[in-house]
Amino acid sequence: MENSHGIKIKYLDTSSIAKLYLQEDGSSRFRTYFGTHTNFCTVHMTFYETMNVLKSRLFSGSKKDKYYDAVEDLAIQGWGGKIELELIDLSKREVFKEVSKLASENNVDVADAVQIYAILKGKYGHWSQDSASVLITADGQQEKAAEKYGIRVWNCRTIEKPEWLNN
The yes-or-no verdict on residue 124 having pLDDT over 50 is yes
Residue 2's pLDDT band, with cuts at 50, 70 and 90, is very low
Report how many domains make up the chain.
1
Q: What is the C-alpha to C-alpha distance for residues 20 and 28, in angstroms, rounded to an integer?
A: 8
Asked whether residue 65 is domain-assigned, the answer is yes
Q: What CATH number is given to the structural domain containing 107?
A: 3.40.50.1010
CA gyration radius for the chain? 15
Asked whether residue 4 is domain-assigned, the answer is no
Asked whether residue 2 is domain-assigned, the answer is no
Q: Using one digit for the tens of pLDDT, what is the confidence trace for 18-38?
A: 999 999 999 999 999 999 999
Asked whether residue 5 is domain-assigned, the answer is no
Asked whether residue 141 is domain-assigned, the answer is yes
Residue 24 domain boundaries: 10-165
